[in-house]
Amino acid sequence: MNPGLVIELTTGYWRFKVMAAAVDIGLFAAVDRHDEATSAELAADLGLQPRPLRLLLSSCTALGFLTKEGDRYRNSPVAAEYLVPGKGQYFGGFVRYNDMVGYPAWGKLQEALRTNAPTTSHASFMTSDPVVLDNFWDALFAISSFTAMALADAYDFGRHRNLLDLGGGMGSFPAVLCERYPDLRATVYDLPHVVEKAKATERISLHSGDFLADPELPAGHDVILLSMILHDWDEQTSRLILEKCHAALPSGGAVIICELVLDDDETGPEIAALMGVNMLVETAGGQNWTGAEYREWLTGAGFRDIATIPLLSAGANAAIVACKRG
């Protein structure tokens, strides 16, 4: 036995902070502008002194974000795809949001454990800070796009005609699903300052509102999607949301919960358990719930024929589908 796991976890933040700093100072964008560059060229481009840049380049190469041939650096495929603004599937907003909000909040985890209260003044989607808000929605859009593709592969939306994406943010799910299913139409339903960031199209409409305060949800949809929504709220609020979904659906309609779902014995998976802790530091009552809890809530709201579909995605490991019967 050796302390390898303890040491790896203790220094895990080193890796994140190196990546976050490289994104923030624009290292990967600079390398992309040059296609390939020497450290001297990058120092001039970024305005960094030789010593710190040398250490950053060495670390980013060791972590697999850069490759080096001779004295010239290039972005690795993963950096070129996910860390260069305007290229591929940019995850810079995800990195920035976690560096700006998540990392400091987790630094006060003991406080959250003792007080059962969030440790950040930025309540993600509720914040008025435009920088935080932009990074939050950029982060969510990046994650949601991949989850949407996994859901499109796993569930047949060809049986539906009108999707309501509850708390749909910038509309990543409707964009992916409507492209995959040509007969599907969708509505993004979210807070007014969020909906204005989404893009309406011929088949995607926007509806501003507050699904907690509004007495009822928009009608005319035969499937309602709740992607990474219920983990933000306590049990009572989650049950209320599901009851509103049931009331808004026609007979034969379906609700789909996409989440990182905890095992019923609460021993894993690791990402769902850790996301639950993230909800502790960022929300007043949220947590990641077990499949058994979701099934109980759905049954209590009047849904039947509950099925769990495994997903392989960073944003969700399962889609829990339930139907409304007349």
Q: What are phi and psi of 247, to 5 degrees?
A: -65, -30
190 in Cβ contact with 214 (< 8 Å): no
Closest C-alpha among 323, 307, 283, 313 to residue 123:
283
193 vs 190: CA distance, rounded Å: 8
Please give, one letter per residue, the 3-state secondary structure of 96-163: HHHHHHHHHHHCCHHHHHHHCCCCCCCCHHHCCCHHHHHHHHHHHHHHHHHHHHHHHHHCCHHHCCEE
CB contact at 8 A, 173 and 227: yes
Contact indicator for 67, 74 with CB cutoff of 8 Å: yes
Alpha carbons 65 and 79: distance in angstroms, whole number: 5
- Picking from 211, 253, 238, the residue whose alpha carbon sits closest to that of residue 294 is 238
Q: Which residues contact 303 (CB under 8 A, 6 or more apart)?
A: 242, 246, 255, 322, 323, 324
- For residue 249, how many C-alpha atoms fall within 13 Å in the half-sphere facing its CB? 30
Establish whether 231 is a catalytic residue: yes
CA-to-CA separations, 153 to 148, 265, 312, in angstroms, rounded: 9, 28, 10
Structure-token match 């007043």, residue found: 284
Token code pair at residue 125: 């989607």
**Residue 194 near residue 169, CB atoms below 8 Å:** yes
Tell me the β-bridge partners of 307.
Answer: 321
Structure tokens at 287: 């947590």
Distances (CA, A) of 248 to 20, 241, 268: 42, 11, 33
| Per annotation, catalytic residue among 122, 221, 231, 246 | 231
- Which residues are known to be catalytic? 231
